[in-house]
Structure 1
Amino acid sequence: MDINAHLALDDDLAPAREATSAMLASRARNLSLPQPFYNDARLFALDMQEIFGKEWLFAGITCEIPAKGNYMTLEVGDNPVIIVRGDKGVIHAFHNVCRHRGSRLCVSEKGKVAKLVCPYHQWTYELDGRLLFAGSDMGTDFDLGQYGLKPVQVKTAGGFIFVSLAEQPPAIDDFLVTLEHYLEPYDMANVKVAVESHIVEQANWKLVLENNRECYHCNGAHPELLNSLQEFDDTDDPRATPAYKSLVARKQADWDGDKVPWQLRRFGKRNRLTRTPLLEGTVSMTPNGQPGCKKLMGRLQSPDMGSLRILHLPNSWNHFMGDHAVVFRVLPLGPQQTVVTTKWLVHKDAVEGVDYDPEQLRRVWDATNAQDKRLAEENQRGINSKAYEPGPYSETYEFGVIDFIDWYSERMQENLEHSAPSLRVVRG
């Protein structure tokens, strides 16, 4: 395919860009989005280009690649990515694409290698992406230095790994400094993944996020979760009861004594951190509300740490308790298909079967994930109907959804505007 044909394919999305921009400009802030945002293939392609192709994405946890040569992979739409730990502990990220004929280099979700070797023709790369070997058949004039792996932007903080496919991604360092501070008590260099799950939901990724950003549905859908979780996490929430506010004040005094941060911090509408108590008498999101792991995380001395909630749009939410943490990653697979990955973290010295039972540890969120899958899929089926039209959000119960849709709309509009000059060049 020549360059003109390639640009023509990109230009095929020009009408969708213009229509999307117009719909966002005219949308009512308190209503759900028009139908195409949830099921149209062209608009999904724009989501992958302008949101997942340009924003910072939560990828994984540094403990998953603890030593030199450890790697993890993920798929961002059609873009496979590899994240690998190299010399001196440095974490690199690359497009998981061989520079020879484009084969994926690493085909497993996780692994450990001495070098990155393409399984197709054995081109071999250093862990920092340099091409080391391409065989003698490439000729004596072949320049290895011109064919290193293409890098992906990567940043780490507090044990979290973020990647961006953009050449110039948005600023994120202020949030990362705060994330590092809030996760310091957990000593994230010394945690491990105790268990993980992958659930494919037949629903658009925005419906998965919308469902997460409100607990309006919790009473009718999540009995296991509500054995420990408060339905709100902010004393300014209009639903917050006097009993909740009193509990918060007592717990915040305890957390101050332990030098554990708890204050609500926002970074626009993209990132949010806050520590909030669980229900009185419970300390963990387990079936009985008691610790799921006997060995506490990091330097924590009490299991009664409530839940440190961390939001990162567009694709992650997290709960950190005294005994374990639960981290979530969302990646779109198609206009109506999304994979949700859940990982349960414990202290790296915790012994399975002695300090924790994986089945008990995961029971509450396994149930909750299954319930949310059904809700999102039924939501998608209804939205696909010709009867669907944008419906009103509750500003009391669904303010988190409003914030998410506002963030999405603002970022999509801004990124579309920045793409507009290149579109004009292509058309000319």
Structure 2
Amino acid sequence: MQQHTAVLDLIKQRKTQHGLPGAAYNDPDVYRQECEQIWHREWIFAGHTFELEKPGQYLTLQIGDYPIAIVRGKDGNIRAFHNACRHRGSKICTEDKGKVAKLVCPYHKWTFELDGKLLYAGNMGPEFNTADHDLLPAHCEVVHSYIYVCVAKVAPDFEKFRSAVSPFIGPHHLEDCKVAFEANLVEKGNWKLVFENNRECYHCDGTHPELLQSYTEIASVQGISGEEDPELTAYWNTCEAGGLASRLVMDPAGQFRMTRIPLDHGASSYTMDGQPAVNRRLDRSGVENIGALLYFNYPSTWNHFLGDHALSFRVLPRGPGETVVTTKWLVPKDAQEGVDYDLERLTKVWMATNDQDRRLVEGAQVGVTSPAYQPGPYSQLVENGVCQFVDWYCELMTRRLAETETASQAI
């Protein structure tokens, strides 16, 4: 209970329209409570269904304390399991991804079916009942190829997010895509700094020359609707006439948001010349230049959808001061590298942007952990998106820590 109180008191120190106290980014107790109150309770983006095309294909991830394996079964269904053998806890799927006929524990060869049922456990005696030792499932939901998992005993409602995001991503036909390239970047910074950096482009002019060949900041990107700009409204109308949801939709609690923006300089894709990187289209709208659909879902993902390709980003913390950012470039399944797209051209802008952001996050981590650090005010002109993220974080943590305290006192 004392840990809950200390973390709650720390969060309450934050001033309105200001950053968090430095300890929020490096204190092990804060990180422990973030795992318990957020990462172990929310829906976390894991990967895409087309990464698991065939039965036996799996991918793994670590959500806080929980190792998770996601497997396509013989029946075609995708399931998530706690990646720990029911014998003595050994990790069953030991690679980031792979393909197996059965799920076999490497320690003592306990063998599980792809649906998690225990098939074989040697030397356990006649009284042993295999049905009592199936793999433990985790909650798993799929929306237009996006696999989300939740390790809580009771998962929060997923349908609100599904109904909001489906009109936006459905027309991009991600079910017919593949991963052209995947990059995993380890950033020596707190996961909140990673998201704070993503939620503003105040830093872009001096940091992201490659991205600014096409990307431009618009108020709706920050999650602040304000008054509609006539040009933006006309752009939305054109996209929506082609069946592409475009106008800002935001969760009242601030956890997710979707909107579509035009790109700058007449660009149609994230490339150095602004021209498409892939000579295929994801959408079938007939709209010549659909700009970029942007969506985030805290705490684990932000995404960009263009006419010719899409990018999904996954954020997973490894501790108070380390975060893994996974970027996947998604292209039509029938697109051939070297024929329909050049990989270096496809990935150049965001490979550079990600590394530039990594350096910013790592520099910020050093600064906020200084005993001399004092949180400064956010710009109300260009940092509303950052403030929105921190507001969401503080509201959620404050509410859940208070609930945990109340429950503890009642025991």
TM-score calculated relative to the size of structure 2: 0.95
The within-5 A match list for 1:63-82 is: 63-82=50-69
Q: C-alpha offsets along residues 337-374 of structure 1, whole Å, 9 cap, x if unaligned?
A: 11110000000000110001111111000111111011
* In structure 1, distance between residues paired with 2:128 and 2:222: 64
Question: Which residue identity does 2:172 align to in structure 1?
Answer: Y
Partner of residue 254, structure 1: 238
Q: Does 1:217 align with 2:189?
A: no
Match of 1:186 among 157, 172, 180: 172
* Alpha carbons 2:22, 2:370 under 8 Å: kept: no
What is the SS of the residue equivalent to 2:137? coil
Q: Does 1:48 align with 2:35?
A: yes
* In structure 2, distance between residues paired with 1:73 and 1:199: 16
| TM-aligned CA deviation for residue 257 of structure 1 | 2.7
Q: How many residues align?
A: 410
What is the SS of the residue equivalent to 1:284? coil
The within-5 A match list for 1:90-169 is: 90-135=77-122, 137-169=123-155
| TM-aligned CA deviation for residue 237 of structure 1 | 8.5
| TM-aligned CA deviation for residue 424 of structure 1 | 4.1
| TM-aligned CA deviation for residue 15 of structure 1 | 2.2
* Alpha carbons 1:291, 1:303 under 8 Å: kept: no
* In structure 2, distance between residues paired with 1:44 and 1:236: 26
Question: Which residue identity does 1:261 align to in structure 2?
Answer: A
Partner of residue 185, structure 2: 199
What is the SS of the residue equivalent to 1:367? helix
CA RMSD of aligned residues (A): 2.1
Q: Does 1:227 align with 2:213?
A: yes
* In structure 2, distance between residues paired with 1:217 and 1:239: 21
What is the SS of the residue equivalent to 2:180? strand
| TM-aligned CA deviation for residue 115 of structure 1 | 1.5
Match of 1:415 among 388, 400, 403: 400
Bigger mean CA deviation after superposition, 70-79 or 311-320: 70-79
The within-5 A match list for 1:1-400 is: 14-135=1-122, 137-232=123-218, 234=220, 245-268=229-252, 269-302=254-287, 304-400=289-385
Question: Which residue identity does 2:63 align to in structure 1?
Answer: V
The runs of at least 4 consecutive aligned structure 1 residues that moved more than 6 Å come to 235-242
* In structure 2, distance between residues paired with 1:56 and 1:306: 28
* Alpha carbons 1:188, 1:298 under 8 Å: kept: no
Q: C-alpha offsets along residues 270-291 of structure 1, whole Å, 9 cap, x if unaligned?
A: 0000011111411001111110
* Alpha carbons 1:233, 1:276 under 8 Å: kept: no
TM-score calculated relative to the size of structure 1: 0.91
| TM-aligned CA deviation for residue 113 of structure 1 | 1.6
Percent identity between the two aligned chains: 44
| TM-aligned CA deviation for residue 293 of structure 1 | 0.4
* Alpha carbons 1:201, 1:337 under 8 Å: kept: yes
Unaligned runs of 5+ in 1: 1-13
* In structure 1, distance between residues paired with 2:124 and 2:131: 13
Unaligned runs of 5+ in 2: none
Bigger mean CA deviation after superposition, 231-240 or 34-43: 231-240
